[in-house]
Amino acid sequence: MVAPIEIPCPICRDARPKARLFPLALSREHVYGLVRCVACGTRYFRPLPDAAALAAFYHSGYFATFHVDKLAGKGRAFARRHLAGRPAGRFLDVGCAIGAFLEGVRQTSGWQVQGVELGASGVKYAREKYGLDVHHGSLASAAYPTAHFQYVHVNNVLEHETDPVGFLAECRRILEPGGTLFLSLPNGDNDWRPLARYYREEGRPPLSKDGHLFFFPPSAIRRLLQESGFAIRHQRTYGFQRGLANAGLRPRKRHWKRVYTPRPTPPVPDTPPDIRAVSGRPHSEAYYDFRLWKIYTGLPGLHSLGLDFLFLLTAV
């Protein structure tokens, strides 16, 4: 009998057999396996979901309700914090959702802004509400010119990509040398723990509730960034309260398992449903500056008990 061919790790290309962990799901009908690369430690879906499964997961429910004032305020605060004092250039937000954050950046910075979004509902809202230039599809399908942008913003997107290596290579290609990549993503060593606990206690596949396909440990993400052509300027860890809860060092909410319980796959609508935009009460700009500071305040370096990592990277 011929031994089966092991599929190389999509992150480090190591071809040794992967450690099989447990099954996990995007819905009741879409169940996969979670494996861990013995070389780089990355945990990931195997097989990776196809386009139909991802479309079903990301349709209407993923873009149902947005607090537009908060997102726009965060965009304005981001521009004051990260773009002030720099010559105005071209700014790209990958995974821009409904475009409210991007509109806040445009209002405050004077930069030329563009967006990329897979969700048809988000693209429709961004174009019609704000008149933003948003590409509907993947970053690669946008086919931007080489060295076109001075700043690329990627907030909680990399872990959703079926090809993280190719995605980062495309980010590097479209950034001019010396340009900045703002990257935030979950701490994979912490992010997978509720999934493991759910499976251990319930004996059935947990739902990857946010659609995370990859769970990167610190060493793997550092290596991946450097091999993709980026120099790390700053790296921080934030989200310690939720990180401690995931690690079992802080109580979880009583019904925490509900969000990890797989649901049936709803039918994908023929046309994108309308977004329900929620306006909050007016706040001062100081409030949004504080909120952004609070969100991204953390410890320098990458720490196991934090939920999320933040990088400021330079294209080299």
Is the pLDDT confidence value at 273 over 50?
yes
Quote the CA–CA distance of 66 and 127 in Å, as a whole number.
16
pLDDT band for position 61 (cuts 50, 70, 90): low
Is the pLDDT confidence value at 252 over 80?
yes
Query: Contact at 8 Å (CB) between 181 and 269?
Result: no
The domains of the chain are located at 19-315
pLDDT band for position 280 (cuts 50, 70, 90): confident
For the domain made up of 19-315, give the CATH fold: Rossmann fold (3.40.50)
Summarize pLDDT for 188-228 with one digit per residue, the tens: 999 999 999 999 999 999 999 999 999 999 999 999 999 99
CA torsion angle for 117, 142, 158, 251 (degrees, to 10)? 0
Q: What is the mean pLDDT of residues 87-94?
A: 97
Summarize pLDDT for 92-133 with one digit per residue, the tens: 999 999 999 999 999 999 899 999 998 888 899 999 999 999
pLDDT band for position 279 (cuts 50, 70, 90): confident
How big is the chain, counted in residues? 316
pLDDT band for position 63 (cuts 50, 70, 90): low
Cβ burial, residue 89 (10 Å; 0-12/13-18/19+): middle
Quote the CA–CA distance of 75 and 79 in Å, as a whole number.
6
Q: Which of 48-57, 94-103, 112-121, 156-165 has the lowest mean pLDDT?
A: 48-57
Question: Higher confidence at residue 118 or residue 8?
Answer: 8
Note the pLDDT of residue 181: 98
Query: Contact at 8 Å (CB) between 181 and 93?
Result: no
Note the pLDDT of residue 84: 92
Indicate the average pLDDT of the chain: 92
CA torsion sign for 97, 217, 295, 314 is: negative
Quote the CA–CA distance of 97 and 119 in Å, as a whole number.
7
Instruction: Calculate what percentage of the chain has a pLDDT beyond 70.
Output: 95
Query: Which one-letter amino acid corresponds to residue 196?
Result: A
Is the pLDDT confidence value at 2 over 60?
no
Is the pLDDT confidence value at 19 over 50?
yes
Is the pLDDT confidence value at 1 over 50?
no
CA torsion angle for 7, 13, 15, 16 (degrees, to 10)? -110
Instruction: Calculate what percentage of the chain has a pLDDT beyond 90.
Output: 80
Summarize pLDDT for 137-151 with one digit per residue, the tens: 999 999 999 999 999
